[in-house]
Amino acid sequence: MTNLTPEEYFSSYSTMIPDFAAFCGKLADPLPLHLRINTLKASVTETRVRLEHRGIFLVQEKPLPMVFRAQNLSHPGHLLEFSLGHLHSQALSSVLAALALGPQPGDMVLDLCAAPGSKTSLLAQLMENTGTIVANDNKPNRLIPLRANLKRLGVTNTILVRYPGQHLPKRFTFDRILVDVPCSAEGTLRAGAQGTIRPPPPAGEKLLRLQRDLILRSFDLLNPGGTLVYSTCTYNPEENESVVQFLLENREAIIQPVALDLPHNPGLNRWKEKTYEPSIKQCWRIYPHQLDTVGFFLARVVKGS
């Protein structure tokens, strides 16, 4: 398929994305490198000072005290601190999904699509390695990096399982569930110096059906009063608001605000011929020209008690 400019590829979203010209312009910039300091193994202050003594300067992403933008680092995996599990390379938007879920020490948590483990390990960090996380992924080859990352980062409260997420057994229920679904990944696209984008495969009906099945199974596995976060790294409303709308039409779900103080846009009221429930405006759309990270969608859902 022929490469396209951002204006060409995202033209169907031009009325949806605020300041579309700035959005397209931002895609010419490289994606910034963010590092999360892993407080299960290291002190934020000591790790930051040690790196800066070696000329690696970190800028804190407010209001996230453990997340930093690395100014002059291209290969974090070469650092001793990375091998020791003191830090982890993670997109800022990926961090927000775990923070939006808000797990507490002692919770029973499910990460339904867990590999390669960036969000899972942050959940464990927020839970101080207490409680239990069930980390699920369907593909054996994806369990390898998941297991390796959890071991390197000192995560000890997590059980790995392998099921198709939409068929995860209902033998246990959970206080909180993160469902970061497979998606078309439009939010990861950057044009870079060449100024063009290679279009990924479109979101077909098979993928859209999987996303709907995953959010329904996740909701069914929640305890009454439990919290679910649905997330994607794409802009497509069919994969975002439409999936949340499908949940609202089929289950007694309540959309809640995401309690974080960062730039974002609300969920859409409508897309093409579809009109969405007013509460979907409480979802988050993250665009890279407003928050310099991967484009992202977040929905925080509560199950009525």
- pLDDT tens track for 233-275: 999 999 999 999 999 999 999 999 999 999 999 999 999 999 9
Residues of 262-291 as b/e, b for ≥16 C-beta within 10 angstroms?
bebbebbeebeeeebbebbebbbbbbbbbb
Instruction: Give the span between the Cα atoms of 154 and 165, in whole angstroms.
Output: 25
pLDDT band at 170 (very low <50, low <70, confident <90, very high): very high
- pLDDT tens track for 8-23: 999 999 999 999 999 9
Rg (CA), the chain: 19
pLDDT band at 196 (very low <50, low <70, confident <90, very high): very high
Instruction: Give the span between the Cα atoms of 30 and 194, in whole angstroms.
Output: 11
| Catalytic sites, residue numbers | 233
User: What's the token pair of residue 216?
Assistant: 């329904």
**Which pLDDT belongs to residue 304?**
87
Instruction: Give the span between the Cα atoms of 293 and 264, in whole angstroms.
Output: 12
Whether pLDDT at 68 is above 80: yes
**Which pLDDT belongs to residue 194?**
84
From 2, 99, 86, select the one nearest 37 (Cα to Cα): 86
Average pLDDT across the chain, whole number: 96
pLDDT band at 171 (very low <50, low <70, confident <90, very high): very high
- pLDDT tens track for 172-186: 999 999 999 999 999
For the segment(s) 92-303, the CATH number from 3.50.50.60, 3.40.50.150, 3.40.50.620, 1.10.1530.10 is: 3.40.50.150
**Which pLDDT belongs to residue 62?**
86
- Please tell me whether residue 134 adopts helix, strand or coil conformation: strand
**Which pLDDT belongs to residue 2?**
86
List strand residue ranges (DSSP E) for the chain, in order.
34-37, 58-61, 64-70, 87-89, 108-111, 132-136, 158-161, 174-180, 222-232, 253-256, 265-266, 270-271, 274-275, 284-286, 296-303
Provide the H-helix boundaries in the chain: 6-9, 20-26, 44-53, 80-83, 92-101, 118-126, 140-152, 205-220, 241-250
Q: How far apart are the first and last CA of the chain?
A: 49
Residues of 61-87 as b/e, b for ≥16 C-beta within 10 angstroms?
beebebbbbbeebeebeebebbeebbb
Instruction: Give the span between the Cα atoms of 235 and 45, in whole angstroms.
Output: 36
- pLDDT tens track for 96-123: 999 999 999 999 999 999 999 999 999 9
- pLDDT tens track for 32-63: 999 999 999 999 999 999 999 999 999 999 88
Residue type, 119: K
What are residue 26's DSSP bridge partners?
none
**Which pLDDT belongs to residue 1?**
64
**Which pLDDT belongs to residue 72?**
86
pTM over 0.85: yes
Whether pLDDT at 74 is above 90: no
**Which pLDDT belongs to residue 202?**
84
Domain boundaries of the chain, sorted by first residue = 92-303
